[in-house]
Amino acid sequence: MDFDKTNDKDMQISIGPQHPALKEPTSFSLALRGEKIEAIQVKIGYNHRGIEKGCESRTYIQDMYLLERICGICSHAHSTAYVQAVETIAGLQVPRRALYLRVLIGELERIHSHLLWLGVAGHEIGFDTLLMYTWRDREAIMDLLAELTGNRVNYGINTIGGVRRDLTKEEGERIVKIIDHLAEQTKYYIQLAQEEVTLIQRLSGVGKLPREDALRLGAVGPTARASSITFDVRKDDPYAAYGELDFKAVSADQADVYGRTIVRLGELMEAYSLIKQVVKNLPDGPIAVRAPRKIPAGEALSRYEAPRGEDVHYVKSNGTENPERVKVRAPTLANTQAIAKMLEDRYLADLPIVVAAIDPCFSCTDRAIEVEGRGLMSWEKLRRYSIDWYRAQGVDFRNVKRVI
Amino acid sequence: MAKKFFIRPGAMIALVLKTLFQKPATVDYPNKPLPMPEHFRGKLDFMPEKCIGCLLCMKDCPTDAIEIKKLGDKKFEMDIDLGKCIYCGQCVDSCLKKALAITPNFELAQFSHDKLRVVFNAAGSPDGTDQKA
Amino acid sequence: MLSALFNILIFPGLFFLSFLGTTAEYIDRKLYARFQNRVGPPWFQPVADLIKLFAKSEVIPEEADPVMFRVVPLVALAATVTAFLYIPIWGTEALYYFKGDLIVIIYLLTLPTFTFFLGGWYSRSLYATIGAIRSVTQLFAYEIPLLLAVLAPALLANTWSLSEMTEYYTVHPWYWLFNLVGFGVALIALLGKLERVPFDSPEAETEIVAGSFTEYSGRFLGWFRWAIDVEAVVGASLLAAVFLPFGLSLWPPLVFGLYLLKILFILCLLTLARTVMARLRIDQMIDFCWRILAPVAFFQLIFDLIIKELIL
């Protein structure tokens, strides 16, 4: 039902922009009849950071670090997607060893993202024990990433033309040891997901997204794969070293939150096997080629299978040191459309877990802000408008001293 | 999977009871030191004697945190704002003469913004903690 | 008069009960943390939390009913403390008793849930309203199984007085074993009464912020927290008196120690239950209570009747 057409009998309640169920600001306006959701309106756009515009005034190298900070969880996804696009334009031949190392970090990131998700999902349905256990296990991966790349989240492993750090043999052995331990833990969680009745009750049949709807609404990643769409960029449009590695795109046919849980748990197991393959088959050679500072004119689109789904970066260059345009489509944007469909005829209590099940990353998603009823605005006009808007709120930037 | 599953409430009971007798996973961090790995990207280190003043680090810094000042002939000092620095380590990669290095020191919180500005120069203390007067 | 005041305020009344209540909260939180491989709070944390709440200024929403908003938390505390006076905890005799006090105890223990409802309702906040409605919906689900489960041992003892019941079970020391199924039912119902996982949908944090208590702060939230702590102990004591009435004719200090062990056991079971389960939706909770819990409680009742008529 349309949100505007709800009547007085319904209780209108807003979840967000600030709410315990949400880790980032976004807004859901609900019309409730009792516990049942009659209509829902999703609003995004609370966290626009002007990253795309910021890219245009920075060099290609600086953009790498800016784009890495789009997301705190899938930072490697954004940085790799961007770097791949730039390398394509510049026609760089990235060494095989570098591609393997990108896969390694990418899969480690997938593990920590999916373990984080499992904990968040547990918390949303009041199963805090699961949260504590998975986040404890996740720490091992975070420490490992700090050791391999130099930081726990914004790894900074990529550079245009390759990677910045090499992997030693001892580090490879350590990785395998930790992965083996995590594989044991994950097997337990898979068993738990199939045995714990309260978990099944809360996840099964909730947030149904049939295959046709998933296709129509353009869902990506585990959300789509749980609706038996076996699409995985790693498989269907291989990048880095995925073409040479053996893995399968995990999918499920439940088309609900339970299916999404199973898909993510399955992907964890696949990631463990991928990492072991990478460590075993790591080719010798250099880890990077020299990249020019000025990228020749051209454009490229790069796809990356982030833990949340397909991440798309578009880069257009004009022969200078700065890109002319960088466009980012984070996976959450594709999945946001499906939330309203998933919550049709569901209960208020299902909202947190259904929203969590797409593994939302709303801050990463917010690319554009719409100023209602003003149509297209030029950059100058928009800038003027924002200054006036803030002045009306009592914030005058003329008096704000630039913080050192 | 061939394994039979027994759907029941409280499937985790055995594990939580076992955990009760294990040591907590919590790290008592500020009370006990928590060293970062050797190659962790923390605070920068600057070796003035190696610097040739090419300013590549300034150029590549994503956040304009670095400023290299010429003091005299072949003498340079680096002024870095730790509040702006994002600890990406790009300047270290860009430096042709290896005059920059990263240290695993990550405990850099200060009560005052001024104290986040660190100046490394030839006269400064070797660990580079010299503060601007 | 003075001894009555002592009983009500100091021992076994408010003061002693608050001590037990905060200790119970500590045990619950510590155990919960250790189950989850965490460290958990220090021993004084529940008391410190209460002191902090009482020291803070309270915000009363403009829309809220000022009188009800203030009074309701106190009613919750008073009701739970009063109920305790009728429960024989060490020995076979409660402080005060009369014929039919069992019904009064159950009634008094229902009051806190009603105060949650009233507090939430008169807050006028949307989250609080939903929480309030869930509280009272849940009340109808767990209260019947709880009543039926407590009724079964009473039927066996042929009395409506808790003190007479414990006396009966002291005379017939092993008869309490007949009621173990009822104990399980009552334990699950108690989870609902205390609004703990899996039955904590009235205050589900990720859905409705804090349910009925969303608008409560400072002193008034403190009263509520205090009442919930006390309610846990009173609930556990009721279950201990009804379902675990053994060892009551021993040396009195030993009986007292045994009583503490009994409620510790019950509290640990409650903590374990909330550790290993996810929160059920309110419709699932009601479904479970009516389809499974109530029939099981009925079965216990009929079982006791058959035993009483045919065997004893």
Give the per-residue pLDDT at A180.
92
Per residue in A335-387, pLDDT (tens digit) is 888 888 888 888 888 888 998 888 888 878 877 656 666 677 777 887 888 88
CB-based contact B65:B80 (threshold 8 Å): yes
Give the CA radius of gyration of chain B.
Answer: 23
Give the per-residue pLDDT at C47.
92
Backbone angles phi, psi at A230, to 5 degrees: -85, 65
The CA distance from A177 to the nearest CA of chain C, in Å, is 22
Per residue in B76-96, pLDDT (tens digit) is 888 888 888 898 888 898 888
Q: What whole-number distance in Å separates Cα of residue B27 and Cα of residue B35?
A: 12
- Give the amino acid at A90: A
- CB-nearest partner of A198 from B9, B81, B87: B9
User: Is B124's pLDDT higher than 70?
Assistant: no
Contact list in B for residue C279 (CB cut-off 8 A) is none
Residue C209 lies in a domain: yes
User: What percentage of chain C has pLDDT greater than the value 90?
Assistant: 18
- Probe site for chain A from C214, C277, C292 (most A CB atoms < 10 A): C277
Cβ–Cβ contact C38 with B under 8 A? yes
Token representation of residue C217: 């702060």
Give the per-residue pLDDT at A29.
86
Contact list in C for residue A201 (CB cut-off 8 A) is 278, 280-281, 284
User: Is A330's pLDDT higher than 80?
Assistant: yes
Per residue in C129-146, pLDDT (tens digit) is 888 988 999 998 898 899
Give the per-residue pLDDT at B126.
45
Beta-carbon separation of A202 and C280 below 8 A: yes
Cβ atoms within 10 Å of C48's Cβ, excluding its own: 13
- Give the amino acid at A240: A
- Probe site for chain A from B12, B59, B82 (most A CB atoms < 10 A): B12
Q: Which pLDDT band holds residue A241 (cuts at 50, 70, 90)? A: confident
Give the per-residue pLDDT at A404.
41
Q: What whole-number distance in Å separates Cα of residue A132 and Cα of residue B81?
A: 36
**In which domain, by residue range, is C108 found?**
58-311
Backbone angles phi, psi at A323, to 5 degrees: -70, 155
Name the interface residues of C facing A (CB cutoff 8 Å): 35-38, 126-127, 129-130, 197-198, 200-201, 204-209, 275-284
Residue B103 lies in a domain: yes
Question: What mean pLDDT do residues A266-283 have?
Answer: 91
Per residue in B24-53, pLDDT (tens digit) is 888 888 898 888 888 888 888 888 888 888
Q: Which of C267, C246, C281, C309 is nearest to C130 (CA)?
A: C281
Give the per-residue pLDDT at A272.
92
Give the per-residue pLDDT at A268.
92
The CA distance from C203 to the nearest CA of chain A, in Å, is 11
Structural domains in chain C (count): 1
Contacts of A320 (CB under 8 A, 6+ apart): A294
Contacts of C255 (CB under 8 A, 6+ apart): C90, C91, C247, C248, C249
Structural domains in chain B (count): 1
Residue B71 lies in a domain: yes
Contact list in A for residue C37 (CB cut-off 8 A) is 132-133, 136
Question: What mean pLDDT do residues C233-257 have?
Answer: 84
Residue B125 lies in a domain: no
Beta-carbon separation of B11 and C38 below 8 A: no
* Subunit partners of chain A (3 or more CB pairs within 8 A): B, C
Question: What mean pLDDT do residues C6-13 have?
Answer: 75
Q: What whole-number distance in Å separates Cα of residue C158 and Cα of residue A397?
A: 81
Cβ–Cβ contact C31 with B under 8 A? yes
Give the per-residue pLDDT at A371.
60
Most confidently predicted of A247-251, A297-301, A391-395, C24-28: C24-28
Residue C19 lies in a domain: no
Backbone angles phi, psi at A217, to 5 degrees: -90, 0
Residue C4 lies in a domain: no
Instruction: Tell me the CATH number at B39.
Output: 3.30.70.3270
Cβ–Cβ contact A198 with C under 8 A? yes
User: Is C29's pLDDT higher than 90?
Assistant: yes
What's the ipTM?
Answer: 0.87
Give the per-residue pLDDT at A394.
74
Give the per-residue pLDDT at B125.
44
User: What percentage of chain A has pLDDT greater than the value 70?
Assistant: 94
Of A276-285, A345-354, A360-369, C238-247, minimum mean pLDDT range: A360-369
Q: Which pLDDT band holds residue A400 (cuts at 50, 70, 90)? A: low
User: Is C305's pLDDT higher than 80?
Assistant: yes
**In which domain, by residue range, is B82 found?**
35-120
Q: What whole-number distance in Å separates Cα of residue C191 and Cα of residue C187?
A: 6
Q: Is the dihedral of CA A306, A311, A315, A321 positive or negative?
A: negative
Per residue in A86-136, pLDDT (tens digit) is 999 988 889 999 999 999 999 999 999 999 999 999 998 888 899 999 999
Q: What average pLDDT does the structure give for chain C?
A: 86
Q: What whole-number distance in Å separates Cα of residue C235 and Cα of residue C220?
A: 22
- Give the amino acid at C198: P
Transcribe A44-67 into DSSP letters.
--S----HHHHHHTS-HHHHHHHH
Size of interface A-C (CB pairs under 8 A): 79
Positions of CATH 1.10.645.10 in chain A: 51-364
Q: How many helices (H) and strands (E) does chain A have?
A: 15, 8
DSSP collapsed to 3 states, chain C: CHHHHHHHHCCCCHHHHHHHHHHHHHHHHHHHHHHCCCCCCCCCHHHHHHHHHHHCCCCCCCCCCHHHHHHHHHHHHHHHHHHHHCCCCCCCCCCCCCCCHHHHHHHHHHHHHHHHHHHHHHHCCHHHHHHHHHHHHHHHHHHHHHHHHHHHHHHHHCCCCHHHHHHHHHHCCCHHHHHHHHHHHHHHHHHHHCCCCCCCHHHCHHHHCCHHHCCCCHHHHHHHHHHHHHHHHHHHHHHHHHHCCCCCCCCHHHHHHHHHHHHHHHHHHHHHHHHCCCCCCHHHHHHHHHHHHHHHHHHHHHHHHHHHHHHC
Query: Would you tell me which CATH number, out of the four given (1.10.3720.10, 3.90.110.10, 3.90.180.10, 1.10.645.10), belongs to the domain A51-364?
Result: 1.10.645.10
Q: Is the dihedral of CA A244, A248, A165, B117 positive or negative?
A: positive
- CB-nearest partner of A156 from B5, B41, B59: B41
* Subunit partners of chain B (3 or more CB pairs within 8 A): A, C
Give the per-residue pLDDT at B131.
44
Size of interface B-C (CB pairs under 8 A): 39
Cβ–Cβ contact A127 with C under 8 A? yes
Using DSSP, state whether A39 is helix, strand or coil: strand
User: Is A22's pLDDT higher than 90?
Assistant: no
Strand bridging mode B44-46 / B66-72: unpaired
